Amino acid sequence: MKRDGALKSIWQENIPDYQSVNNWNKDEVFDVLIVGGGITGLTAGVLLQSEGKKCILAEAYNIGFGTTGGTTAHLNTILDTSYDSIEKDFGAEDAKMVASASREAIDLVEGLVTRYGIDCDFSYLPAYIYADTAEQSDRLDEIREASTRAGVVASCSEHIPVPMAFKNACRFDMQAQIHATKYLHGLAKAYETEGGVLIQHCIVGNVENGQHFTVDSSLGEIKAHKIIYATHIPPGINLLHFRCAPYRSYACAFTLKSGDYPAGLIYDMSDPYNYFRTQTINGRQYIVAGGFDHKTGHEANTEQVFRELEAYLRGHFDIDSIDYKWSSQYFNSADGLPYIGELPGAENIYVGTGYCGNGITFGSLAGKMICEMITGHESKYAELFDPSRIKIVAGFADFVKENADVISKFIGMRFDYEKVSALAELAPGEATLADWEDHKVALYKDENGRIHALDPVCPHAKCIVDWNSAEKSWDCPCHGSRFAYNGALLTGPARKGLTQVKWEDIEGD
Ligand code: FES
């Protein structure tokens, strides 16, 4: 299974690509076009089809290519934004609503697994949060009390299932986990069984609005009355790009010499926090661990981050072998809650984004809420998660710092291959942003020694991309668009790739 980076997750290895079965009649005007075949799009698709809507789902690459395939696949009612923060910013009643919404998301996943017989290792587990300093311990007490007030069952625990020293710990029952891509494939199959059309390797472009939407795509025009952008962040430039900030999280899966695997979902209280769970793949148990998050495009050496994660894990576990390492992207929202509903300023276009580190939970919820909105049922959470809401919370002004480093276009200028390549004394597999006269050029030397040169100006809103050495991608620090070494678009919100500098043209002059 291909993914949006060089490193495959534990969910992507040895999983064959999903094969669509239903045919697309290009003359048909669909009720709904769903853009994106991750957790949000496929959940919405299954629910809409089962409600009698006729949908077409367009995935830019293959099912499991994007962030759902790179998640660590937790389903929680305890969230990255703690309930005491939600109470402070939104009020006690809204904190209860958030708890209830996240519980509904877990129930929904369990219900779909049962209804469609999806084999995805769904299981309920207790979660533990542990504190290892006095200050964290006080915070944890506040979190436990606020969680209880919101309706999440929480209790003090004298035990945690990982070999870490701790001062205080809290247990939350009825959390859950899944195998991410087995679940996605199960949803895709259910969606097609319900009559939905699923097209892969289809990049969606401009949208025109008339009697219905007419949407350009790499496979031809798609016609639909409503659109769902289930693309992690919507394409184009929208208010939401200034209210969501992209982050990368690092994960690995390893075996233990002792065979003593933890039963539960475990989180510490570091900032960023570390997390652990167990997963069995083909009869072999693994601990899946993650953390060391940073804002996308703001880490000079992403391979070093993996080294730090590994050193941390080796300091606590009797690791036998580390079989998988990967990183993945998520979007933090400005006020800590997701944006789910109609895209601001765009009627009949829906979106789910800003899930923070709770993508499987909120992606499932978004699929359900958007289905309710499209089928004319009232969603009781619509106002709380309204993408148009403005909630000024502490730090809002500093939340998304736009990269002011806008440079003029240089494509069309003449480049001397010898001189530019000499600017970057790169080893094979390395990349750099080199200065060329008044401009920058993004250079990558492949394993055969060939230099790939790109205009580093992100086509979304003109920020300068940065190299992610671990995933071998150019990542935009502003809103999280990502591009392959040859400029191909991996993830939006940009709608197209980076422009290549064509050496052949220059050499031919
Ligand atoms: Fe917005 Fe690059 S993603 S400028």
User: Closest Cα to residue 43, out of 331, 329, 336, 355?
Assistant: 355
DSSP string for 438-467: TEEEEEEE-TTS-EEEE--B-TTT-PBPEE
What beta strand segments (E) does 310-438 contain? 319-333, 339-342, 349-353, 431-436
Inside any domain, residue 236: no
- Residue 460 Cα to ligand 1 midpoint, Å, equals 5
Look at residue 392 in the predicted model and tell me its pLDDT. Answer: 57
Q: What is the pLDDT of residues 85-138, one digit of tens each?
A: 999 999 999 999 999 999 999 999 999 999 999 999 999 999 999 999 999 999
- Residue 248 Cα to ligand 1 midpoint, Å, equals 15
Contact predicate 12/64, CB 8 Å: yes
Protein residue whose Cα sits closest to atom 4 of ligand 1: 461
Return the percentage of the chain with pLDDT > 90, whole number: 73
Look at residue 324 in the predicted model and tell me its pLDDT. Answer: 95
Interatomic CA distance for residues 487 and 480, integer angstroms: 15
Look at residue 286 in the predicted model and tell me its pLDDT. Answer: 97
Contact predicate 4/491, CB 8 Å: yes
Asked whether the predicted pLDDT for residue 509 surpasses 50, the reply is no
User: Closest Cα to residue 102, out of 60, 61, 152?
Assistant: 152
Inside any domain, residue 316: no
- The whole-number average pLDDT for the span 467-489 is 93
- Residue 390 Cα to ligand 1 midpoint, Å, equals 22
More confident residue, 168 or 400: 168
Look at residue 212 in the predicted model and tell me its pLDDT. Answer: 96
- The whole-number average pLDDT for the span 43-50 is 98
Inside any domain, residue 261: no
Total domains in the fold of the chain: 1
Inside any domain, residue 302: no
Q: What is the atom index within ligand 1 of the atom nearest the CA of 477?
A: 2
* Confidence band for 447, pLDDT divided at 50, 70 and 90: confident
- Ligand 1 shell residues, CB under 6 Å: 458, 460-461, 463, 476, 478-481, 493-494
- Residue 329 Cα to ligand 1 midpoint, Å, equals 14
Inside any domain, residue 500: yes
Question: What is the average pLDDT value for the chain, to the nearest integer?
Answer: 90
- The whole-number average pLDDT for the span 204-221 is 94
Q: What is the pLDDT of residues 274-286, one digit of tens each?
A: 999 999 998 999 9
User: Closest Cα to residue 109, out of 71, 163, 57?
Assistant: 71
Residue written as token pair 């390549």 = 421
CATH of the domain at 435: 2.102.10.10
What's the domain range around 465?
414-507
Inside any domain, residue 148: no
* Confidence band for 2, pLDDT divided at 50, 70 and 90: confident
Inside any domain, residue 386: no
Calculate the alpha carbon distances from 89 to 82, 94, 339 in Å.
11, 9, 16
Q: What is the pLDDT of residues 378-435, one digit of tens each?
A: 899 999 999 988 665 655 555 544 333 333 333 444 455 555 555 556 777 888 888 7
b or e along 118-148 (b: 16 or more beta carbons within 10 Å of the residue's beta carbon)? bebbbeebbbbbbbeeeebbebbeebbebbb
Q: What is the atom index within ligand 1 of the atom nearest the CA of 246?
A: 3
Protein residue whose Cα sits closest to atom 3 of ligand 1: 479
pTM: 0.86
Inside any domain, residue 264: no
